[in-house]
Amino acid sequence: MSGALKEVRNRIKSVQSTQQITKAMKMVSAAKLRRAQDAITQMRPYAQKLQEMLSNIVSSSDGNVAMDLAAERPVEKVLVIVVTSDRGLCGGYNSNLIKLAKQVAREKYAAQFAKGNVQLLPIGKKGYEHFSKNGFKVIDKFWDIFTGLSFEKVQGAAQYAMDAFAAKEVDAVEVVYSEFKNAATQRFIAEQFLPVQKVSDKGSNKKSDFIFEPNQEVLIKELMPKILNTQLYKAVLDGNASEHGARMTAMDKASDNANELLKTLKITYNRARQAAITTELTEIVSGAAALQG
């Protein structure tokens, strides 16, 4: 029975050590989440207004202004930008993003995928590793953006997509990322990045008339890339906050599970200990009775 007691004791120590790690990781993620949440909260209204303005400009164009990044053409080649994380232990965060990216590639662009005309541009180590190992066409230049995350690094990825689209190397660009809601809730979405979408005639959005000074073509040429850079940066900030929220939630659940497991193990330990004591007492009483006999 002493061997069984020792085994249960070792398991209790192991679970306690794991629980210390999960609690520490939860605290680290909570601290990082506060900073990441502040960044996306401050960025989102600005990015949304810029996106609205960009769509209105494209919609209000009289057709005489060349807008390469808004040009719609038959889709033969596709680029899918996938924003995952560098590290794991964040629940289903990465697996959900990878699953959605595969759906976009294999279902939305099934004909292009069958011809080998779908490329993936991973941002984040987990996505890069998965798609590289599973035979996808991968652009491997920007997967380490989260190592020292900055607007300039994200701008490099956005510029790559814009250059490829303008050169007609790709005909559509999609962004797959997780929109941050709160620590426990993320929304996994795929958005069209290029060509720039026009304002829909449906709903509350209406085309706006702009007075361009000095020149519509010059302003559009200057504004459009900057706004698109901001849109991708917003998606990356959303992903960054979502990752820390998902990890904090996952570590909190892991700590709770460890508590439940510890309760069960302690009950098992106490029962085994009582059984061992009972056995020892029985042996002592039996020995004493034998001596008296």
Catalytic residue numbers?
Answer: 90
How many beta carbons lie within 10 A of that of residue 20, not counting itself? Answer: 12
Q: Give CA separation, 33 vs 123, 242, 247, in Å.
A: 19, 8, 9
Radius of gyration from C-alpha coordinates of the chain: 28
